[in-house]
Amino acid sequence: MADSAGGAGGAGTVTERLLDGLPAEAVLTDPDVQAAYARDHAGFCPAGTPAVVVLPRTVEQVQHVLRTATATRTPVVPQGARTGLSGAANATDGCIVLSLVRMDRILEISPVDRIAVVEPGVVNATLSRAVAEHGLFYPPDPSSWEECTIGGNIGTASGGLCCVKYGVTAEYVLGLDVVLADGRLVSTGRRTAKGVAGYDLTRLFVGSEGSLGVVVKAVLALRPEPPRSLALAAEFPTPEAACDAVCRIMAGDGGPGHTPALLELMDRTTLRAVNELTRMGLPETTEALLLAAFDTPDAAADLAAVAALCQAAGATEVVPAEDTAESELLLAARRSALVALERLGGATLIDDVCVPRSRLADLLKGVTAIADRTGLTIGVCAHAGDGNSHPVVCFDAADPGEAVRAHAAFDEIMALGLELEGTITGEHGVGLLKKEWLARELGPVGLELHRGVKQVFDPLGLLNPGKLF
């Protein structure tokens, strides 16, 4: 869509109308600057050329943007820090890119109510450090937590390393202020510890990828800050043996299972890539490395119990971290896994398949078979305690045949996840990358209901068009 009035509502280009309610510095029209806002981190997802990029600082400015978009029938693509991996933040031709990164205030931290009230542009790590000063803890911690924003986390229903114990973003969003497609402001949810009034519209917005409204404020639940965690690393002769250890840890051995603060897996390909990136000296001869950590008062005893379970599952070596600093190094290695794998083949397609924990070994075995059949390198890192794996297909994008095989491998992995009673995305979202697969997972009735919900909130189809379905 060109930068014009486009429909009802009077004269003037979209940019001119936006400038009627926005300061000049909030409206970006330079093509080179706009190009920086055209896409997120997902490779091979198409991105269009926006008509204009806007960076509001207030709710009223966001409302002005949405009213202008409605009046001119101009699509709007909401964005956070663009660290996503599914193309959900990619621009469409002629759209308004609505970047929320300048709405970055922490409005309130309440130790009594154990909540934080924030604007969408607050960076995850910034919030985590701010609440820690009050002895509190915001658990969702995506690997990109030093860059990603709370608004983006809400839009994609992000997870992270600590989900096995603490859960995902949706479980910490109590209430939202959302600007709807026509510019109206709605408040959902609550700031109380309990509340069941009406439909749960808050949960509906979480994970909607900006397709139903634009989040401008969030009320987030906090927890008391736990003790510093201690970790161990266990080496296994096969990924399947590591998955067996995961099952033993979660089920226990003749008693209640364990709830580690994190339970992460990296295969040999990932370990090699992380070593090349970080020079950490992780063991490259083992087929799988399992990281477990506890933030309990008696973390050492919990780790000892988990170490015994790992050994029973066939671990060749189990090494507890000596202190919290060494534990943090192990976690830093895991956080760098996706970045490290991206450097292996020049291009990557990152899957995000989540299966029941009891089927994780079947998934990894299937991924190995897919890699062998396609002749491609596929590294796997996983939030093993959640059954959420990230098989990363590495390939040379300049080789047309290899690129075709990579896309086929990516699709085969998603099909395998559904076959194992899983889901196509555990935390990265659908965006453009997986929209065809979402239709397969939902089925025709589920897809019809999704489209009906979209019609209620966005009857003109202006919010993040072409994403999800």
* Residue 411 confidence (pLDDT) above 70: yes
* Residue entry with tokens 């949960």: 203
The fraction of the chain above a pLDDT of 70, given in percent, is 97
Percentage of the chain beyond pLDDT 90 is: 87
Tens of pLDDT, residue by residue over 100-131, are 999 999 999 999 999 999 999 999 999 999 99
How far apart are the C-alpha atoms of 392 and 90, rounded to whole Å? 21
pLDDT at res. 5: 44
Among candidate residues 433, 413, 276, 411, the one with its CA nearest the CA of residue 342 = 276
Q: Name which residue leads in pLDDT, 254 or 91.
A: 91
Mean pLDDT, residues 298-324: 94
User: What does the pLDDT look like over 140-196, one tens digit per residue?
Assistant: 999 899 999 999 999 999 998 889 999 999 999 999 999 999 999 999 999 999 999
Dump pLDDT digits (tens) for 34-88: 999 999 999 889 999 999 999 999 999 999 999 999 999 999 999 999 999 999 9
Distance CA 356, CA 353 (A): 10
Q: CA triplet 161, 238, 386: central angle to 5 degrees? A: 25
pTM to 2 decimals? Answer: 0.93
For the chain, list the domains and their CATH numbers: 14-99 (3.30.43.10), 106-224 (3.30.465.10), 226-336 (3.30.70.2190), 346-463 (3.30.70.2740)
Angle between helix 337-345 and 324-335 (nearest 10): 40
* pLDDT value at residue 7: 44
